């Protein structure tokens, strides 16, 4: 019996932790553990042109040439996070990589999402940035089999306001539309990703067999990400960073590492103090939308073991 491997579209805004998640997914694609049908990008952590180039860089980094990469023309009016991810979105670590080869004809993220899902109805969307592209897709009544997303904060504080997490706060209207209209969603909020602490131990293990420019790139990216996480007081002063986005990749193929519950989720879009807050309902009342599985816990040590060993397999 041939087991069908997951067919996915990755929707992202590579900045640093997106880049790690993208590398993990591309490595699994090379190993034929998953099949990436397309990578779609738009502005978020940094501008749309930079996130597009960084997605191309991730493919080149692993020599993946069979995955189309889309660029978006959507300009969402929200402050990006270039102050966190650096001008090139990779803390200027891109200087260790060859100049990225930009295709003569760039594909549109919107068009890729639509054509791929129409052709492959089994497609799952893995998203670790604002939900702008996906809301536009659902508005055309085009539905993936499942959406696995990193975003939100359910029982913990936000990271861009007291109550809002960056991916949701960047485009709250789109996020609310996705939680309301999608058929099957898995949400990995800060409640669980703030447990995914990546330390020098994991970095040294991943780099143990890697030499040359690739090793210098990954080391520079990791060290800068340590610095920014510490500067944003996400690490209690310790040298580590949170692998928010890689949680989406793990949820796809290591679901046994996670626990959670189905909860109705909406997003506050109106009021200044709470705009971008993910609102759930824990009361014992009949719930209108029961299609969002909210992940609340993870086995951090076995998560890191899976991620590091997979990286050692394909780097
Ligand atoms: O809040 C964390 C999220 O915001 C991550 O996806 C990170 O890449 C940024 O997009
Ligand atoms: Ca992201």
What span, in angstroms and rounded, lies between the C-alpha atoms of 127 and 130? 8
What span, in angstroms and rounded, lies between the C-alpha atoms of 168 and 151? 6
222: enclosing H helix or E strand:
helix 212-231
With a 6 Å cutoff on the Cβ, whether 150 touches ligand 1 is: yes
Residue 2 covered by a domain: no
What mean pLDDT, rounded, does the chain reach?
A: 91
147, pLDDT greater than 90: yes
Atom of ligand 1 nearest to the CA of 15: 8
Atom of ligand 1 nearest to the CA of 160: 1
With a 6 Å cutoff on the Cβ, whether 152 touches ligand 1 is: no
Residue 1 covered by a domain: no
pLDDT bucket at 227, cuts 50 / 70 / 90: confident
Residue 223 covered by a domain: yes
Average pLDDT on 266-280 reads: 96
Residue 232 covered by a domain: yes
**Number of domains the chain is built from:** 1
Tens digits of residue pLDDT in 4-46: 899 999 999 887 788 999 999 999 999 999 999 999 998 766 7
3-state percent breakdown (helix, strand, coil) of the chain, nearest 5: 40, 20, 40
Tens digits of residue pLDDT in 56-78: 999 999 999 999 999 987 655 55
Q: What is the pLDDT of residue 104?
A: 83
With a 6 Å cutoff on the Cβ, whether 165 touches ligand 1 is: yes
Residue 267 covered by a domain: yes
What is the CA(236)–ligand 1 centre distance, in A?
A: 19
CATH at residue 310: 3.90.245.10
Residue 171 covered by a domain: yes
Q: What is the pLDDT of residue 156?
A: 96
Full domain range(s) for residue 64 = 7-314
What is the CA(167)–ligand 2 centre distance, in A?
A: 7
218, pLDDT greater than 60: yes
Tens digits of residue pLDDT in 228-254: 888 887 788 888 889 999 999 999 999
**Ligand 1 mutation pick, 12, 153, 166, max ligand atoms within 8 A of CB:** 166
- Would you state the structure tokens that stand for residue 42, as one six-digit string? 């738009």
What span, in angstroms and rounded, lies between the C-alpha atoms of 75 and 155? 31
Q: What is the pLDDT of residue 75?
A: 58
What is the CA(245)–ligand 1 centre distance, in A?
A: 7
pLDDT bucket at 89, cuts 50 / 70 / 90: confident
Q: How far apart are the first and last CA of the chain?
A: 30
What span, in angstroms and rounded, lies between the C-alpha atoms of 184 and 144? 9
What span, in angstroms and rounded, lies between the C-alpha atoms of 107 and 117? 15
Tens digits of residue pLDDT in 125-146: 999 988 999 999 999 999 999 9
Residue 31 covered by a domain: yes
Residue 245 covered by a domain: yes
The phi, psi pair for 156, rounded to 5°, reads -125, 165
pLDDT bucket at 157, cuts 50 / 70 / 90: very high
What is the CA(32)–ligand 2 centre distance, in A?
A: 24
pTM for this entry: 0.94
């Amino acid at each position: 019996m041939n087991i069908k491997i997951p067919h996915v579209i990755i929707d992202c805004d590579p900045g640093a932790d997106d880049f790690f998640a993208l590398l993990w997914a591309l490595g699994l694609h090379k190993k034929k553990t998953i099949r990436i049908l397309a990578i779609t990008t738009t502005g978020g952590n940094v501008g749309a042109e930079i996130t597009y180039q960084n997605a191309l860089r991730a493919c080149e980094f692993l020599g993946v040439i069979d995955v189309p990469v889309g660029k978006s023309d959507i300009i969402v009016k929200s402050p990006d996070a270039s102050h966190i991810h650096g001008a090139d979105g990779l803390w200027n670590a891109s200087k260790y990589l060859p100049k990225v080869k930009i295709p003569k004809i760039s594909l549109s993220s919107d068009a890729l999402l639509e054509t791929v899902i129409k052709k492959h109805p089994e497609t799952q969307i893995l998203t670790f940035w604002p939900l702008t592209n996906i809301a536009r897709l659902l508005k055309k009544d085009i539905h993936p089999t499942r959406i696995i997303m990193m975003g939100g904060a359910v029982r913990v504080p936000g990271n861009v306001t007291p109550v809002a997490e960056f991916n949701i706060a960047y485009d709250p209207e789109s996020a609310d539309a996705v939680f309301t209209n999608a058929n099957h969603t898995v949400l990995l909020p800060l409640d669980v990703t703030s447990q995914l602490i990546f330390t020098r131990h994991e970095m040294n293990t991943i780099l143990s067999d890697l030499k040359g420019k690739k090793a210098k790139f990954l080391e520079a990216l990791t060290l800068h990400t340590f610095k920014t996480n510490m500067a944003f007081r996400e690490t209690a002063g310790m040298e580590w960073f949170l692998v928010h986005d890689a949680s989406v990749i793990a949820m796809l193929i290591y679901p046994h590492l996670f626990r959670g519950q189905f909860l109705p989720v909406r997003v506050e879009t109106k009021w200044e103090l709470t705009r971008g807050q993910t609102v759930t309902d824990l009361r014992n009342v009949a719930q209108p939308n029961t299609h969002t599985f909210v992940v609340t816990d993870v086995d951090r040590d076995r998560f890191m073991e899976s991620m590091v060993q997979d990286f050692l397999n394909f780097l």
